Structure 1
């Protein structure tokens, strides 16, 4: 079935990131991609009708208590899909015989597992052995980003309060490997060629790369993640020359130690809990936090999209929903494959 990407209602004027955008009187529904790999919108309509409402309620409560929860929920879905596909392996605990993904170095900063566990507990009470942990990740990520988007919160994007519709029907995998996480997860120091290769290996396009990088509009990072870029980019102990010099100097003042895990650095200064297109303006000004952000300027297609989204937040929000659905189809298990875990951290 075709999946509908939610667009803002017609005949509304609204301000998005200081750009006044006009929404045409007859905004078309964006089609072009149907359910993939057995996934569909509303998969739990009969088996657990309140599934998405339950997820939304828990996510909304968590975000209300701590607005910074949105970024970790979004990251969990990303980090899951890039290793073995979207099958919930990022949630599995390590055992004496196996070091799982969540204990791989790139995942040490992942958070919000407690939110996923709280959702799973409520769903197991309501609909036992029905809703997969993998689908919980996908729905929670959608809800988190929707709650962080002003146009959505204020009812200027869709009536149901969602940035996009999420496909469901995934089942949970039984294998989780820290070594695979290290191998397959995109790195903040990746250049454009490496990024293109990583995304292409998942069936994701240059456009998906540029769009999904926009997830860096949310959240914070810590000094160790950019220490090399600030002081040890080469053997001469210099700063990454692709980083704006004034911005770099400010970051060095905040990060006086490469081991400082206390200082929080906003990915988008002053806007780390709001999902919008401000990130692309920073990238264009060479003020992206990571080397992988600046890398978007090193390819004609991704660079063009950086400037397009900088000018039109509506285009970014629309395309983000499409790319999230694309990513959510990577390596999914459906039908009789995998399992429905009773506890997300443990294989049945």
Structure 2
């Protein structure tokens, strides 16, 4: 798991000005809420007074109020009021919690969990067709009992479709093509592939009769950063699914998937339930596999698996992870677990580059090697 990337926090509709929302991400607690103007804020969920959970409190005057002793924290993370100091009392400068940059896109509240300045931050994937005709979007939030890297790699694996996805017509590549290196190209912050299948997508399924035009039977997947996955499924020239997964690693065993499924056919409302049923059944085909993988987490070296040319996109994804390892962005989960319970830890926010004297400790990171 990494700092310095954008992570989905919650559906936009779940972040309100009525009640703080507790979110666990990267094994750590965060709180999300809106101010009176409707702006979303994401803070570390630990009061620096005596460790109260801010998400268990309330919202008052654009601040989240700790339920333990009433300390009020504004959206910038600074303590705005301490009741025991009186009406005119000024909170000490050290009374602050980490506050994270926020963006809202696609019906999702995203937070940048890291300390990079704005100009250096990796982007949230730009969905150019979002909100444009004829495309229609449906957003699902799915809890997965699996590690997010396993989920990402599943999406970058074109071979599993033949064996796992009968609802998509079990699209396949011939053994001869599987022996060839999967064509993968690098893109900013990731890599991608796009291939045609030897057998056509959604052949003999309950959606096949609703397509029109010549069959294309092609699909592509790519990742942007460690936790954003894109899959395009082109059934015909005018019938496509564009699927976007924004993955939130809850911890080393659980992931929350923010799954945006877009289509440019069967876009009338009367088809929504049918599309949702087929889509979620396909997702459950993946979940059945992912939740039983052993080991739960990706092996530390490729020597612990036998990888083939068709796994090239998976291998390239792991190579990108090594790049972010070298930058020193990977969380040292073992060290973090050893300290949890004895210390309050959080992800360092950009504000730590501008001021010191923070109460909450930053999460331990594995040493990087930028020269590599």
TM range (shorter): under 0.3
> Of the two, which has the highest radius of gyration?
2
Larger RCO of the pair (alpha carbons < 8 Å, separation 6+): 1
From the two aligned structures, give the one with the greater strand fraction. 2
From the two aligned structures, give the one with the greater helix fraction. 1
TM normalised by structure 1 equals 0.26
TM normalised by structure 2 equals 0.25
